[in-house]
């Protein structure tokens, strides 16, 4: 991957994030021109950058997004929820493409479909000024104001295929191959983009028929603009869709595809001015046909063909009949219609027999728009529609009892009813075909054409789909409505997030994290090396007896010390990141999840500018997501339940970050139903986490804390969001890994408050050095509550466990030598007192007996790696100033 | 030179690029009776193709390239 691409990917992700943020903000202030302009700028730049590379799908979607944003910015299209959804979806797609590019360095052609869909959906919004509720007619795809009409196969221009080619294509279509009619209209300025439409069109394989049209607008040759494409290519091909997608991936919006059904090729050609076939012959073969004497029929036709000139229309029709009998032996209506057509010498109107087979052509917004149209039909209407159609069928199948006088009127009545019905369900495009079928029926004085049409069309109307569409649409509306309410309320403080990371881009230097880490390690070593100087000064004085030198070394040490500390401080600052880095994903996440759950949630973020070390921030990300999901899924109730409980329908989720001395405090507060301690107790007991006696005496707060126990889950059903066994215990261990603590408070019916407390930085740890069994160890200062000296007389043994009473509280005492599996007893001082370190472990105070206390030092704690990494009792090791190694204990694991 | 302009014939050699279109149009206007010879031609850029389609000059020789021959036959008939 080259540098340019790498830079593009890294910038593009920033842009995507910025776009998502701006969209979220726009939901709160839909009329803010400033935001709109900013958003447009992001999309515009991103599109421009993507154009440098060979990612047509990405550029296309971004281009459509840009056009849409441009329209919004200029007030031609109003901002709406749908628009935001569509844009977000488009950005998700772009993001997915970028993931792929990062992995493989390119994008596959399999994205063409999605990108075209997205582009069309975006373009559709461009044409609907007030978004959703204006039903867009089928043919309103425009790019530059030109309406491109969806063409059904029956409206295709005549192709004058030779009979053999037509028969071949017909056979292909009958055999299930897709025969596509393809029209490629290159954009006029395509030559300037280095495209050669003619070369492209020549790459298409399996072309059965081709045509080129020149739309020369210039009146004289001199005026002709040779560098503006005026060509239109049309062809028929049986190439596979994948192949075509791949070939035409750069120009899908200039391609028009229509799937041509087999019947469209059944078109006898020839000279029809000559005498028509003998009526007797036609009656004869019709009789054979009706009696299913196919062999006699083919023989007769073959004889006839030998007798008549092959150029005649009727000869061609007869050959077609033979071809149909061979390829589609079961398609009797078609064969019969063609036989009857021998009388009129005209190709039957096949479109009256089948529904126009409009393939969702590439550049036509067919499916989503149609579903809007259709879904406006109510269920009841649909039921009536079906009833009426059934009734018409019955009428048509009645025997023509009272002579011909009635039947014509009956047919007309049925025709009028059908036209009315189809108009009522917004399928006016069928009217033509009904009329055609009616005309045919009237001329033949038989109900058959109408019946055939009805049967075919009913097969193709997909009634169940209509109903489904309708329901989906309603759900969609409800969801939209709910979401609109939710999102309008989810608030962010714009002044804090005002694109801080993007606006300041020009002053920001992007540095690889590895380099910072390296710098950090070097400074760590420097601090240790610096700490060796006082030892050196000491030696100069005591060993070599040069007091003067010792003093100079000490003075120099003071200078180096100051510089080193400043350096250390600065590098810490570099590594600091605002918590907004993880907070910024919450608005979108909360929006998506709450919409999915049908809940209304107002998300409030506070203290996003609070900073902490990058490692801490990164370690926080997953636990926080888990907690927020939990709150949304289990904490907040459905709107109805909330109203019933006398709360606002909209739940409130507050995520607040703040700094408390050298720790970051993050609180996640919801005003949901809270945690029921009784339920927790019961569940914990059922799962064997607590025994019966604990069940009896456990306090409510302690019960709530049980949610952090491993293997605990209250969810009976595994849902999309929670209940997968990755519980709060994972959250706790993740937080504890970075020396953090997690706590929970909950009041039934009022809500839950979860709080995480984390160190600002992991880089420098303040430890207390203790001595035990002639070795020294470090203990992190943040765990040490106090140090006391306990006289031997005050130590009581309860059930073989040593305890003492400290300020009226019983504190269990543990010997460090015991904990480290050494047999030596702890050494008391001259007054027979034991040095005792009181540490806080899981909220309880425990005394650790050691031999002696030493000073506290700042060290750079290095976690142990390799085999030693598996030792749970140590949190790491550090170098001391004299070059010795200090093992730092982890009392939490040790006890 | 992709297109060689002789007295009464324009000879198309192999691959005709986009830049040929303007000169071709000029030559065909100046020589209304000029013929075009595609024998050695394998591809014509769309810009030149549309010039040929607008004027439909008499053809001295069809291309040896079968696929191109089919297309030109359709375009220039």
Option in A210, A211, A226 nearest B22 (CB) = A226
pLDDT of residue A362: 41
pLDDT of residue A366: 37
Q: Pick the last residue of a domain from A576, A594, A629.
A: A576
Same domain, A620 and A749: yes
pLDDT digits (tens, 9 = 90+) for A709-746: 766 665 554 444 454 445 777 788 888 878 788 888 88
- Mean of the per-residue pLDDT values of chain A: 77
Option in B21, B24, B67 nearest A227 (CB) = B21
Domain containing A528: what range?
A: 514-576
pLDDT digits (tens, 9 = 90+) for A475-521: 454 445 544 444 444 444 444 444 444 444 456 777 888 888 888 88
Confidence of residue A370 (pLDDT cuts 50, 70, 90): very low
Confidence of residue A84 (pLDDT cuts 50, 70, 90): confident
pLDDT digits (tens, 9 = 90+) for A729-738: 778 888 887 8
Which one has a higher pLDDT value, A354 or A695? A695
Q: Which of B15, B20, B30, B46 to probe the A interface (max A CBs under 10 A)?
A: B46
Option in A197, A216, A224 nearest B46 (CB) = A197
Interface contact A230, partner B, CB < 8 A: yes
Q: What would you measure as the largest C-alpha separation in chain A, in angstroms?
A: 139
A403 DSSP assignment: -
Question: Does the distance separating the beta carbons of A198 and B45 come in below 8 Å?
Answer: yes
Give residues with Cβ within 8 angstroms of A275, minimum separation 6: none
Give the burial class of A525: count Cβ atoms within 10 A of its Cβ; 0-12 exposed, 13-18 middle, 19 or more buried.
exposed
Question: Does the distance separating the beta carbons of A227 and B22 come in below 8 Å?
Answer: yes
Same domain, A726 and A807: no
Same domain, A600 and A718: yes
pLDDT of residue A763: 62
C-alpha closest to that of A852 among A774, A779, A786, A763: A774
Same domain, A333 and A190: no
pLDDT digits (tens, 9 = 90+) for A555-576: 999 999 899 889 888 888 888 8
Write the DSSP string, A186-251: --GGGGGGT--HHHHHHT--SEEEEEEEE----SSGGG--TTS--EEEEEEE---HHHHHHHTTT-
Same domain, A588 and A737: yes
Region B25-34: what's the mean pLDDT?
85
Write the DSSP string, A13-72: HHHHHHHHHHHHHHHH-TT-HHHHHHHHHHHHHHHHHHTTTT-HHHHHHHHHHHHHHHHH
Q: Is the ipTM of this complex over 0.95?
A: no
Percent of residues, chain A, with pLDDT higher than 70: 82
Region A770-787: what's the mean pLDDT?
88
The number of folded domains in chain B is: 1
Distance from CA of B62 to the nearest CA of A (A): 17
Q: Is residue A422 part of a domain?
A: yes
- List all residues of chain B from 9 to 68 with a beta carbon under 8 Å from chain A: 18, 21-22, 24-25, 28-29, 43-51, 53-55, 67-68
Interface contact A530, partner B, CB < 8 A: no
pLDDT of residue A562: 92
Domain containing B60: what range?
A: 3-76
Residues of B in contact with A196 (CB under 8 A): 18, 45-46
Q: Is residue A651 part of a domain?
A: yes
pLDDT of residue A506: 53
Q: Is residue A479 part of a domain?
A: no
Same domain, A743 and A622: yes
Same domain, A783 and A724: no
Instruction: Give CA–CA dist A79/A26, Å, rounded.
Output: 8
Collapse the DSSP code of B45 into the 3-class scheme (helix H, G, I; strand E, B; otherwise coil) and give the result: coil
Same domain, A755 and A611: yes
Same domain, A669 and A526: no
Region A148-163: what's the mean pLDDT?
66
Q: Is residue A141 part of a domain?
A: no
Poorest-pLDDT segment among A62-76, A130-144, A195-209, B28-42: A130-144
Interface contact A229, partner B, CB < 8 A: yes
Confidence of residue A361 (pLDDT cuts 50, 70, 90): very low
Question: Does the distance separating the beta carbons of B50 and A226 come in below 8 Å?
Answer: yes
Nearest CA in chain A to B15: A199
Q: What CATH number does residue A613 fall under? A: 3.30.565.10
Model confidence at A190: pLDDT above 70? yes
Q: Pick the last residue of a domain from A205, A233, A265.
A: A265
Residues of B in contact with A221 (CB under 8 A): 25, 28-29, 54-55
Residues of A in contact with B50 (CB under 8 A): 214, 216, 226, 229-231
pLDDT digits (tens, 9 = 90+) for A609-662: 888 888 888 888 888 888 888 888 888 888 888 888 888 888 899 999 988 777
Q: Is residue A485 part of a domain?
A: no
pLDDT of residue A848: 92
Q: Pick the last residue of a domain from A431, A452, A467.
A: A467
Confidence of residue A457 (pLDDT cuts 50, 70, 90): low
Confidence of residue A130 (pLDDT cuts 50, 70, 90): very low
Instruction: Give CA–CA dist A681/A687, Å, rounded.
Output: 10
Q: How far is CA A171 from CA A263, A373, A528, A634, in A?
A: 10, 36, 85, 60
Residues of B in contact with A227 (CB under 8 A): 18, 21-22, 47
Option in B44, B54, B75 nearest A224 (CB) = B54
Model confidence at A877: pLDDT above 50? yes
Q: Which of A221, A222, A232, A254 to probe the B interface (max B CBs under 10 A)?
A: A221
Q: Is residue A199 part of a domain?
A: yes
Option in B49, B54, B55 nearest A198 (CB) = B49
Model confidence at A373: pLDDT above 60? no
Give the burial class of A227: count Cβ atoms within 10 A of its Cβ; 0-12 exposed, 13-18 middle, 19 or more buried.
middle
Q: Is residue A586 part of a domain?
A: yes
Same domain, A562 and A583: no
Q: What CATH number does residue A796 fall under? A: 2.40.50.180
The number of folded domains in chain A is: 7
Which one has a higher pLDDT value, A462 or A845? A845
Q: What CATH number does residue B46 fall under? A: 3.30.750
pLDDT of residue A491: 41
Instruction: Give CA–CA dist A24/A632, Å, rounded.
Output: 19
Poorest-pLDDT segment among A335-339, A464-468, A576-580: A464-468
Same domain, A236 and A321: no
pLDDT of residue A847: 92
Poorest-pLDDT segment among A25-29, A152-156, A262-266, A452-456: A152-156
Nearest CA in chain B to A216: B54
Q: Is residue A9 part of a domain?
A: yes
Same domain, A865 and A805: yes
């Amino acid at each position: 991957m080259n540098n340019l691409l790498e830079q593009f990917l890294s910038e593009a992700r920033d842009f995507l994030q910025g776009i998502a943020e701006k969209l979220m903000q726009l939901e709160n202030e839909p009329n803010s021109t400033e935001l709109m302009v900013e958003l447009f700028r992001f999309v515009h730049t991103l599109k421009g950058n993507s154009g440098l590379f060979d990612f047509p799908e990405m550029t296309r979607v971004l281009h459509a997004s840009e056009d849409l944003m441009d329209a919004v910015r200029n007030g031609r299209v109003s901002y709406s929820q749908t628009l935001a959804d569509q844009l977000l979806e488009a950005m998700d797609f772009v993001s997915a493409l970028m993931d792929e590019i990062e992995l493989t360095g390119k994008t596959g052609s399999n994205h063409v479909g999605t990108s075209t869909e997205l582009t069309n959906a975006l373009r559709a919004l461009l044409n609907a000024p007030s978004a959703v509720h204006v039903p867009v007619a089928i043919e309103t795809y425009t790019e530059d104001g030109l309406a491109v009409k969806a063409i059904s196969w029956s409206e295709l221009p005549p192709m004058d295929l030779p009979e053999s080619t037509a028969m071949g294509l017909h056979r292909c279509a009958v055999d299930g191959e897709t025969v596509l009619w393809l029209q490629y209209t290159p954009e006029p300025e395509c030559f300037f983009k280095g495209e050669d439409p003619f070369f492209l069109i020549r790459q298409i394989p399996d072309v059965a028929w081709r045509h080129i049209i020149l739309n020369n607008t210039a009146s004289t040759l001199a005026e002709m603009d040779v560098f503006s494409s005026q060509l239109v290519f049309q062809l028929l091909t049986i190439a596979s869709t994948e192949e075509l997608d791949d070939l035409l991936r750069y120009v899908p919006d200039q391609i028009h595809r229509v799937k041509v059904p087999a019947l469209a090729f059944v078109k006898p050609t020839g000279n029809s001015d000559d005498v028509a076939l003998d009526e007797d012959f036609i009656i004869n073969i019709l009789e054979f046909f009706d009696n299913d004497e196919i062999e006699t029929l083919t023989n007769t036709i073959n004889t006839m063909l030998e007798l008549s000139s092959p150029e005649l229309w009727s000869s061609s029709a007869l050959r077609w009949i033979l071809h149909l009998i061979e390829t589609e032996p079961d398609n009797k209506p078609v064969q019969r219609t063609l036989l009857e057509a021998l009388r009129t010498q005209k190709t039957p109107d096949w479109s009256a027999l089948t529904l126009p087979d409009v393939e969702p052509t590439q550049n036509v917004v067919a499916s989503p728009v149609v579903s809007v149209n259709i879904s406006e039909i109510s269920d009841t209407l649909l039921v009536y529609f079906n009833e009426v159609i059934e009734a018409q069928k019955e009428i048509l199948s009645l025997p023509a009892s009272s002579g011909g006088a009635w039947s014509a009127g009956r047919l007309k009545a049925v025709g009028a009813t059908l036209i009315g019905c189809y108009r009522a369900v917004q399928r006016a495009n069928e009217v033509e075909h009904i009329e055609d079928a009616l005309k045919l029926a009237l001329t033949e004085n038989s109900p058959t054409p109408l019946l055939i049409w009805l049967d075919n069309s009913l097969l193709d109307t997909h009634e169940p789909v209509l109903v489904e569409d309708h329901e989906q649409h309603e759900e969609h509306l409800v969801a939209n409505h709910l979401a609109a309410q939710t999102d309008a309320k989810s608030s962010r403080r714009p002044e804090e997030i005002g694109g801080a990371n993007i606006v300041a881009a020009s002053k920001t230097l992007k540095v690889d994290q590895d380099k910072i880490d390296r710098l950090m390690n070097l400074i760590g070593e420097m601090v240790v090396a610096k700490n060796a100087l006082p030892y050196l000064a000491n030696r100069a004085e005591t060993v070599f007896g040069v007091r003067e030198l010792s003093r100079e070394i000490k003075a120099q040490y003071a200078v180096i010390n100051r510089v080193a500390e400043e350096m250390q401080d600065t590098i810490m600052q570099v590594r600091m990141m605002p918590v907004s880095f993880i907070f910024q994903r919450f608005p979108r996440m909360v929006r998506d999840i709450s919409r999915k759950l049908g809940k209304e949630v107002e998300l409030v973020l506070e203290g996003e500018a609070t900073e902490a070390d990058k490692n801490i921030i990164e370690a926080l990300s997953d636990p926080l997501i888990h907690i927020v999901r939990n709150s949304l899924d289990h904490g907040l109730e459905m709107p109805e339940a909330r109203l019933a409980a006398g709360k606002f329908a909209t739940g409130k989720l507050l995520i607040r970050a703040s700094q408390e001395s050298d720790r970051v405090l993050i609180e996640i507060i919801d005003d949901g139903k809270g945690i029921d301690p009784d339920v927790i107790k019961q569940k914990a007991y059922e799962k064997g986490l607590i025994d019966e006696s604990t069940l009896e005496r456990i306090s409510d707060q302690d019960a709530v804390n049980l949610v952090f126990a491993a293997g605990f889950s209250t969810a009976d059903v595994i849902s999309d969001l929670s209940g997968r066994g990755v519980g709060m215990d994972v959250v706790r261990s993740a937080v504890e890994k970075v020396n953090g603590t997690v706590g929970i408070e909950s009041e039934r019916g009022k809500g839950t408050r979860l709080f995480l407390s984390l160190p600002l930085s992991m880089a420098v740890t303040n430890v207390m050095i203790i001595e035990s069994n002639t070795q020294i160890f470090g203990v992190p200062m943040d765990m040490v509550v106090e140090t006391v000296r306990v006289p031997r007389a005050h130590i009581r043994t309860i059930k073989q466990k040593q305890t003492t009473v400290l300020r009226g509280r019983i504190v269990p005492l543990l010997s460090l030598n015991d904990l480290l599996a050494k047999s030596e007893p702890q050494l008391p001082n001259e007054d027979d007192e034991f040095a005792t370190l009181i540490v806080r472990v899981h909220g309880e105070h425990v005394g650790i007996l050691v031999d002696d206390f030493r000073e506290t030092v700042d060290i750079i704690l290095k976690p142990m790696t390799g085999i030693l990494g598996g030792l749970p009792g140590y949190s790491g090791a550090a170098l001391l100033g004299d070059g010795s190694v200090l093992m730092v204990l982890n009392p939490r694991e040790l006890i | 030179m992709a297109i060689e302009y002789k007295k009464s014939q324009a000879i198309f050699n192999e691959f005709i690029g986009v830049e040929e279109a303007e000169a071709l149009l000029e030559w065909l206007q100046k020589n209304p009776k000029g013929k075009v010879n595609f024998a050695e031609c394998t591809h014509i850029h769309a810009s030149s193709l549309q010039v040929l389609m607008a004027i439909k000059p008499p053809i001295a020789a069809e291309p040896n390239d079968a696929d191109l021959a089919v297309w030109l036959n359709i375009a220039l008939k």
